[in-house]
Chains A and B, each alone.
Chain A
Amino acid sequence: MSDLAPRTRTAFPPPLLIGAALAVVGLVLLVFGATTPQLVTPAKAAVALLGLGLLLAGASRLGKVWAGPGFDVVFWFGAAWLLLLGLAILCAPWLPLAEDRDVASTVAEPVFATPTFTGGHPLGTNAFGLDLLARSLYGARSSLLISLSAVALGTVVGGAIGMVAGYFQKSVDRVVGIATNSLLAVPPLILLIALATVLQPHLRNVAFSLALLTIPGMVRLARATTMAYANREFVVAARAMGAGRTRILLRELLPNVLLPVLSLAVVMISVLVVAEASLSFLGLGIQPPEPTWGNMIAEGEGRVFEEHPHIVLVPGAFLFLTVFAFNVVGEKARGRWDSRSVKL
């Protein structure tokens, strides 16, 4: 039982101090690595990664002192990133950002400027002197708007179809099954390319094509969950009391299907952020000069990446961090739901 006794907190130096020191050193290294032009790229990356690792370790220690041993630093890191990004996106028009799309107004700006805190371009500029921080934030606007609306559309449509198929079964289920299987049988990229050639590449159409990708997964999850609950005895009890189909679907089944479907939706957002970037990279999504992460990465084509790696690394880092954060948060949400269902 001794290992369960509360840990004594008289260790020296106190964990609070170690945590804070680690975090500060890490942050300094991260900024130094990312912004020092004198270093070669691999050295920058190594210093930045070391800084990130130290930052996380420090934050983890701080968090554990603060919130107890259950503190999950990666989750909070992800949540903080999403919050920060969300705020920045919403406030972008009022932030003191440099020009992001009008090439005519940046004739005087340096081209391919490397990231640095001095000068007006903290994340550097591209071939036309456009500011990468501004482009990344405005790019995030379209990337996230597209994937969020696509996921919302896919969740509502796919979830509804799945619930209906799972509840009525028989011929309804068979038709839905054939439709989802045929949708799954078409390689997603080919489907998107085919759609892109037919539809105009603006925001609504890209969102619509991507929504099509999420529907089969949503249908399957909603259908399986509905079927699992439809055989539960509380549904029989509701029917015995005279409840109709609509009431059973909405009042008995929907609350139980909603949580697993929503946690899949969060994970799906990250998949669609990547998918949208791939589309734009191929030139099939939103067209430049309107920025998205995908077409920003595409600017690094040819020899540009070798000479000016930050052109790709900056939007790449935004993409990576966002996708990672959505996955971490989604996993946590699902884990929470699972443990609840075990208790029931």
Chain B
Amino acid sequence: MTTTRDAPALTATDLVVEFPAGRGQKVHAVSGVSLEVAAGETLGILGESGCGKSTVGRSLIQLPPPDAGTVRLGDVTLTGLAPRELRRARARMQIIMQDPVSALNPRRRVKDLVWEGRSIWGPGDDTRDKDARVDAALRDVGLDPATVRDRRPHELSGGQCQRVCIARALMLDPEVLICDEPVSSLDVSVQAQILNLLETTTRRRALSMVFIAHDVSVVKNISDRVMVMYLGKVCEVLPSDGMQHEAVHPYTRLLLASLPEAQLGSAAPAGPPAAEERAAELPSPLNPPSGCRFRTRCPLATERCAAEEPAPREIRPGHRIACHHAEPRRNHP
């Protein structure tokens, strides 16, 4: 792990995001999430749809800003910054989104898309070497500048569009890259290409990355640490290395047990029972369960879980869980 504890690149404390849902109700999308990403580290955020992982990603770049909580990028506190300074600070953090085709303006050409950030922040300063720098950026992400430079997004494949998005983000030399499901709309073979590209890029540039996805093995592959979310809360934070053996939160175990056998490889998870797979409806984020939000699906749930919300506790260095009952595993292979 490359964590250097003294200078986190990105810190978020007690983020809360709520959306109005009509009739006076509120969607509790994110309820008190804290995270920290060290310089050069990749934090994976894992969870199913509706768990608030994408909302966390968006509130990190203040689009929209969280309803409560603070976000610090290096030494700048983003929350509460004046709009002009916020725009400048935000450019130090870039986002890669799930649908690469929709993330590119359909009416612009690739060269202008890649140059977009530069044209916002450095008008006139180095437009003369625009072509050379755009070509270099495209080559960096594995695209052939001569063939794609003058195309429009709909003339490219999904994988190529995602490469253009990455090139565009890197053009601004960001410190932190936020990837929101960057490979889930891509084919398996293309997914591997993009994961490899992100891996080598972050390593070469010592970029910090927040990698949001629903696929356990994808997240494990690219992250140093993994944060598991369920219904707007953090369940478990643990190092990704060996997570298939070390994870103890019942929800994490359920996610691991849901993986198809081929993705488990030789790592068939053993240990605490996975949550019982009931065909029950998921609880609504409009009215989340009291206490522990996972208790309605949890095999370990007791009365205490309904009454008292489990506080995050550290069960070993770098491994925190929010569960009353789960215990660290003693003897694993």
Contact = CB atoms under 8 A, between A and B. Distances in A.
A255 to B, nearest CB: 4
Q: Which of A232, A241, A244, A256 has the most CB of B within 10 A?
A: A241
B87 interface: yes
A45 interface: no
A314 to B, nearest CB: 45
Interface residues of B, number: 30
Nearest to B96: A237
Contact of A344 (B93, B95, B106, B165): B106
Contacts of B165: 237
B103 interface: yes
B91 interface: yes
Given A252-B105, A344-B154, A241 B63 contact: no
Interface in A294-339: none
A49 interface: no
A239 B63 contact: yes
B23 interface: no
A145 interface: no
Contact of A240 (B63, B121, B153, B154): B63
A238 B87 CA distance: 11
Given A233-B97, A234-B105, A256-B107, A242 B154 contact: no
B95 A255 contact: no
B67 interface: no
B103 A242 contact: no
Q: Which of A236, A237, A243, A247 has the most CB of B within 10 A?
A: A237
B94 A240 contact: yes
Interface of B: 58, 61, 63, 87-88, 90-91, 93-95, 97-99, 101-108, 116-117, 120-121, 153-154, 165, 168, 172
22 contacts: A233-B99, A233-B102, A233-B103, A234-B103, A234-B106, A236-B58, A236-B63, A237-B104, A237-B165, A237-B168, A239-B63, A240-B93, A240-B94, A240-B95, A241-B117, A241-B120, A242-B87, A255-B108, A256-B106, A256-B107, A344-B106, A344-B153
Given A240-B95, A241-B168, A256-B105, 11 more contacts: A233-B97, A234-B106, A238-B105, A240-B63, A240-B91, A241-B120, A242-B90, A242-B91, A255-B108, A256-B107, A343-B154
